[in-house]
Amino acid sequence: MGRVTAVFQRIPSSLKVAILIVLLAKLLVFSIGYATTYLNEGAASPLTIVMNEFNRWDAPHYLDIAKNWYVSNPALDPYNFIVFFPLYPVLIRLTTLDFAYAGLSALVVSNVCSIAAFVYLWKLTKLDFDKGVAQKAVVFLSIFPTAYFLSAPYTEGLFFALGIASIYYGRLAKWPLAGVLGMLASLTRIAGLLLLPTLLVEYLYQKGWRLRKIGIRKIDVNILWIAFIVLGFLIYLNINNQVTGSPFTFLEVQRTHWFNTIDPVTGLMRALGNIRSSFPSSITIGAAPIIFALGGILAVGVGLLRRLRPSYIMYLLLTWMLAVSTGWWISVPRYVMSMFPMFILLASLSRRKMVTLLIGAVFLAGLCFFTMLFATAGVWAF
């Protein structure tokens, strides 16, 4: 107990305040989800409501994979779930004693990991800015309009923790740790592969862009740890091959079952067309994807103007490109949130208290609104 107290006392006060705000934001998210679920679906035990309030859309698929792996129900196409990467459901399974409570395990994994992500975002921001900027970066992410995914049984919490920590240790030139964490990130989501060029740019930046001059034989062997990131994706391809007989089945399933193809123009046209649909689809799969896509590219542009660190620019640009790359922009607001350097950028620019309060108010209003929609059965909110 004394050791725990000593560790707590060593935590900087600004980080304590930031984490307190994170916990309050999570409490708000769960409260809105609980109330919405209770009103829409009727009375149930509190634990049942907590496990069900965000068990929407992709979430049950992760629970199914955790229980049955990738082949479960012969009445369905057994390969539909192969598009979901394995690390998150594996962690659910490892933390579940009774699968009647697998939803609770999923929430624990997501929320513990997301708190770790907030801590690493604070630490990463502190490498370049003061504690006030670091604190605001954490707060802005915690109340971002789609931040409820960091509390829901989705991969966001795990992916953010691994991705931000990987870049943080890359900044410290701890390449083995950065590479292993990046490998785990690429075993969580395909976006984990974006850490490979990001960390490579960071490595070259730290070397003063002198790679061509020093010759291949003198390259620091630590750069090989960056390539370790690919291993997570290769493991996923091997799972595809074992389950379906082909390492690339997920691409075909994405196209035929999930209607995802590389076609950003069609994605934009569909979003524009959905603006004319009835509420709330006019917002959630119409206006919002376009607004968030514009916000994401604006973050890239401002980052370039403000001379943000090159590795951050690389990650911002690649993440934005991936978010808008498909013919169905339904999840653009969620994927844009993955552009976490934009929260560092936003915090560094919002020096005036009135600007900070305005951003916070807009984000918080969006978070409450979209959390309510997401907790409503049958309504897609990113």
Give me the residues paired with residue 326 across strands: 262
The per-residue pLDDT for 254 is 87
Alpha carbon 7 to its chain centroid, in Å, reads 28
Q: Quote the pLDDT of residue 197.
A: 97
250-262: pLDDT as tens digits: 998 888 877 788 8
Dig out the tokens for 231 from the structure.
Answer: 């291993």
Measure the CA–CA gap between 54 and 188, rounded to whole angstroms. Answer: 20
What's the pLDDT score for residue 72?
56
pLDDT at position 259: 77
pLDDT of residue 216: 52
Per-residue tokens: 111? 């929320």
What does the alpha-carbon distance between residue 134 and residue 55 come to, in Å, rounded to a whole number?
A: 32
Per-residue confidence (pLDDT) for residue 295, from 0 to 100: 96
Integer angstrom CA distances of residue 323 from 91, 258, 342: 25, 15, 15
How much is the pTM?
Answer: 0.93
pLDDT of res. 2? 60
Predicted local distance difference test score (pLDDT) of residue 348: 95
Calpha distance 381→376 (Å, rounded): 9
Half-sphere exposure of residue 297, counting CA atoms within 13 Å on the CB side?
10
Position 44 scores a pLDDT of 79
C-alpha span between 124 and 178 (Å, rounded):
13
Q: Which residues, 6+ apart, have CB-to-CB distance to 229 below 8 Å?
A: 179, 182, 183, 185, 186, 192, 193, 195, 196, 199
Q: Are the C-beta atoms of residues 165 and 120 closer than 8 Å to each other?
A: yes
Q: Which two tokens stand for residue 215?
A: 């010759």
How do residues 32-85 score in pLDDT, each as one tens digit? Answer: 999 999 998 877 788 888 888 999 889 999 999 999 898 755 555 566 889 999
Low-confidence ranges of the chain (pLDDT < 50): 214
Query: Using CA atoms, how far apart are residues 113 and 106, in angstroms rounded to an integer?
Result: 11
Dihedral through CA 305, CA 358, CA 344, CA 138, nearest 10? -170
57: left (phi over 0), alpha (psi -120 to 50) or beta: left
